[in-house]
Amino acid sequence: MDLYEYQGKELFRLLEIPVPDGRAASTAAEARDAAEGLGGQVVVKAQVLTGGRGKAGGIKPADGPAEAESRAEEILGLNINGHVVRRLWVERASEVAREYYLSVTFDRGEKKPLFMLTREGGVDIEEVAASTPEKVARLHVEPLTGFQPFEARWLCFAAGITEPGEMKQVVDIIKKLRGGFSALDAMLLEINPLIVTPEGEVRALDAKVTIDDNALYRHSRIAEGQASEDGDPQERMARERGVTYVKLDGEIGVLGNGAGLVMSTLDVVGQAGGRPANFCDLGGGAQADSVVSALEVITSDRSVRGIVFNIFGGITRGDEVARGLLEALDRLTIDLPIVVRLDGTLAEAGRALLAERAPQNVYVESTMLAAAGRVVELAS
C-alpha cells in the first residue's frame, strides 16, 4: 500500500526524521487556514499516488494565506497522470542549499534491504542510475546481523557526503530509516530530495512510503488512515473484497489462478494485439465467491471490452473450476465476451461442462494463445 506524502511525513516525524512543518487540506479555505497557521512563505502540494507532480503544476509556492488559497484552487481537481487531486499538503517553504537522494527498499533478487544514497537528489533515481551509476552508493543490509552504524558512514563516504556536520545528520537519518523499515513492514522508504538548508540542517522534503499489504493487519492505524477515496476505484473495490488486483490501462480484463500464470497471460494478450486492463489473481483455486468478487471488480472498469479467464488445474480440478465459474455467472449479469482457457487436471471435463451449460457470451479455448487471440478479436 502506497501512502500519500503527508502520511509518509507523519510517519517520518514519529521516527524523529526532520521534516518541514505542514498541514493537510481538502479545500482552498483549509489551505488558507493552514498557511495562516504556518506563517511566511509556504508550498502547496498536490497529494496523489503518482510522480511528476511538479511538472504537472501540482506543486506551487505561495507568499501568504491569500496566495495559498489561490494556488489551492488551481491545484484541486487537477488530473495528474490519471489521478485527480482531492487533497493538499501545505508546508512551510524550505531554503535549499543542496539536494540528496536517500532510500531503503527491499531487493527481491538479493532478498535483503537495499540502501541507496546519492548527492544527485531532486530528480528520478532511474535517470541518475542510468546516466551516472557511479554516483549512486548502494548497500545491502544483512538480515541476520542487522544494520550497523559503520554501514551508514560507508554510504556517506561512497556517495561523497564528507562534511562532518552533514554526515552526522545523514547517518542518523539512515539509522532511523532502517529501524522504521523493519517496524513498519515497509517495502520502500524514500526521501527525494533529502535537503541541506543554508544553515546546514538536513531534512526530508518529500516522503514516499510503501507498506507490505500482507502486513497491514499489524498496522491498522496506517490502513485506516489511508485516504481511500483518492485511490483508483477498482483497486479500492479489490481491497474491500480481498481480491489481488492491479489496474492497467488496456481494454482486456485478465483473470487467472497464480501470479505467474496471470503475468504470462498479460504478455500473450499483448502478443495477440490487445492491451490488458488489469492484473487479477485468484490464487490457487477458483471458487464461486472469489470468481464473483474478481469479476465484479474487473467489470466495474468501463474500459474493459472483453475478459480472458485463464486457469491451469493442478490440485484444483478443471471440472470444479468450471462449476465455480458457472455458479458465479448465474449470480452476475455480464454482457461482455468471456473467453475461458482451461488446462491441466480434468480440463477436458471442465471444457465440456462449460460448452454444455455456459451462457452464449462464454467461449472456451484449450490454449492460452488461442484464448488471447479470441478475446482480442471479440473485444474489437
pLDDT digits (tens, 9 = 90+) for 148-167: 889 999 999 999 999 999 99
Residues contacting 363, CB < 8 A, separation 6+? 337, 338, 339, 340, 374, 375, 378
Residue 6 lies in a domain: no
Give the domain extent around 160.
98-226
Please indicate, yes or no, whether residues 110 and 221 belong to a single structural domain of this protein: yes
CATH number at residue 55: 3.30.1490.20
Question: Residue 227 pLDDT more than 50?
Answer: no
Amino acid letter, 115: F
The rounded mean pLDDT for the chain is 91
User: What pLDDT does residue 234 have?
Assistant: 79
Please indicate, yes or no, whether residues 66 and 198 belong to a single structural domain of this protein: no
Q: For residues 20 and 33, what is the distance between their CA atoms, to the nearest angstrom? A: 17
- Quickly state the pLDDT bin for 284 (edges 50, 70, 90): low
- Quickly state the pLDDT bin for 285 (edges 50, 70, 90): low
The length of the chain, given as a count of residues: 380
Q: What is the pLDDT of residues 212-221, one digit of tens each?
A: 988 888 988 8
Over residues 66-91, mean pLDDT: 93
User: What pLDDT does residue 314 have?
Assistant: 76
User: What pLDDT does residue 142 have?
Assistant: 87
Please indicate, yes or no, whether residues 271 and 288 belong to a single structural domain of this protein: yes
Closest alpha carbon to 71 in 26, 28, 23, 38: 28
| Residue where a domain stops, chosen among 193, 226, 259 | 226
Torsion of CA 86, 91, 96, 102, to 10 degrees: -60
Question: Residue 229 pLDDT more than 60?
Answer: no
**Cβ–Cβ contacts within 10 Å for residue 221, how many?**
6
Q: For residues 311 and 297, what is the distance between their CA atoms, to the nearest angstrom? A: 18
The residue written with cell numbers 475461458 in the block is 340
Q: Report which DSSP code applies to 50.
A: S
Residue 252 CA neighbour count, 13 Å, CB half:
30
Please indicate, yes or no, whether residues 255 and 215 belong to a single structural domain of this protein: no
Over residues 118-145, mean pLDDT: 86
Please indicate, yes or no, whether residues 294 and 370 belong to a single structural domain of this protein: yes
Question: CA triplet 148, 124, 47: central angle to 5 degrees?
Answer: 95
Residue 339 lies in a domain: yes
Q: Any idea which residues carry the catalytic annotation?
A: 101, 190
Residue 2 lies in a domain: no
Residue 11 lies in a domain: no
Over residues 173-178, mean pLDDT: 95
Question: CA triplet 228, 232, 238: central angle to 5 degrees?
Answer: 80
Please indicate, yes or no, whether residues 161 and 240 belong to a single structural domain of this protein: no
User: What pLDDT does residue 131 have?
Assistant: 84
Residue 3 lies in a domain: no
Per-residue exposure over 152-176, b if at least 16 CB sit within 10 Å of its own CB, e if not: bbbbbebbebeeeebbebbbbbbbb
Closest alpha carbon to 344 in 316, 371, 325, 365: 316
Long-range contacts of 231-240 (CB under 8 A, 24+ apart): 231/49, 233/300, 234/278, 234/297, 234/298, 234/300, 234/301, 237/296, 237/297, 237/300, 238/280, 238/297
Residues 190/105, Cβ–Cβ less than 8 Å: yes
Q: What is the chain's alpha carbon radius of gyration, rounded to the nearest angstrom?
A: 25
Over residues 186-207, mean pLDDT: 96
Q: For residues 371 and 380, what is the distance between their CA atoms, to the nearest angstrom? A: 14
Q: What is the pLDDT of residues 266-275, one digit of tens each?
A: 999 999 999 9
| Residue where a domain stops, chosen among 175, 194, 226 | 226
Residue 10 lies in a domain: no
| Residue where a domain stops, chosen among 226, 247, 282 | 226
Q: H or E segment at 90?
A: strand 88-92
Over residues 7-34, mean pLDDT: 96
Question: Residue 313 pLDDT more than 80?
Answer: no
Q: For residues 380 and 377, what is the distance between their CA atoms, to the nearest angstrom? A: 5
Residues 9/22, Cβ–Cβ less than 8 Å: yes
What's the pTM?
0.72
- Quickly state the pLDDT bin for 146 (edges 50, 70, 90): confident
Please indicate, yes or no, whether residues 25 and 81 belong to a single structural domain of this protein: yes
Over residues 135-139, mean pLDDT: 94
Please indicate, yes or no, whether residues 238 and 373 belong to a single structural domain of this protein: yes
Please indicate, yes or no, whether residues 157 and 194 belong to a single structural domain of this protein: yes
Q: For residues 324 and 285, what is the distance between their CA atoms, to the nearest angstrom? A: 10
Please indicate, yes or no, whether residues 238 and 313 belong to a single structural domain of this protein: yes
CATH number at residue 294: 3.40.50.261
Alpha-helix runs per DSSP H in 56-194: 65-75, 125-131, 149-159, 164-183
Residue 248 lies in a domain: yes
Question: Residue 29 pLDDT more than 90?
Answer: yes
User: What pLDDT does residue 175 have?
Assistant: 94
CATH number at residue 168: 3.30.470.20
* Structural domain count, the chain: 3
Please indicate, yes or no, whether residues 371 and 253 belong to a single structural domain of this protein: yes
Residue 343 lies in a domain: yes
Please indicate, yes or no, whether residues 121 and 212 belong to a single structural domain of this protein: yes
